[in-house]
Amino acid sequence: MSCILLLANTVIKSTVAIEVGAGKNSQVEWHLFLNQFEHISTEWQLKKVEPEKLTFREGNKLVELSFYKNLLRIRKNGGYEPVLTRVIKTRFSDNEGGVDFKIKLEDGKEYCATFYGWGRQ
């Protein structure tokens, strides 16, 4: 009986450690996305805000940040680049002078951010 309880205790501790680690990974991925997106979007001008898609102008080309399947991706020049994975829900909305991002990931965690500074067209 003691062996079974000792084994059960070890399994529970391992499960908790794995769950905590997975949560940290999604948080790290979210912050990496924020840094990357803030850096690459500095020259963009916001054209349109939709619940699952943002459209920008970069020079004379259009750029989209959109939710597709389980990805948040940037589409331009006929291709796309995934910038955030394991996404299950996305909501973009206008905010006085900026855009609110609300993203829910597969681990159930929801993240929010507001981006300011894109010139509107």
Rounded distance between C-alpha atoms, residue 33 and residue 19, angstroms: 21
Tell me the sheet residues that pair with 20: none
23 phi-psi bin (left φ>0, alpha ψ -120 to 50, beta other): alpha
Residue 121 pLDDT = 58
DSSP secondary structure letter of residue 73: E
pLDDT in 10s for each residue of the chain, 121 residues: 777 756 666 766 665 555 545 445 888 899 999 999 999 998 899 999 999 999 999 999 999 999 999 999 999 988 999 999 999 999 999 988 789 999 999 989 999 999 987 766 5
Q: Where are the alpha helices (DSSP H) in the chain?
A: 2-40
Phi and psi (nearest 5°) for 53? Answer: -155, 140
Q: Identify the pLDDT of residue 97.
A: 78
Residue 96 confidence (pLDDT): 80
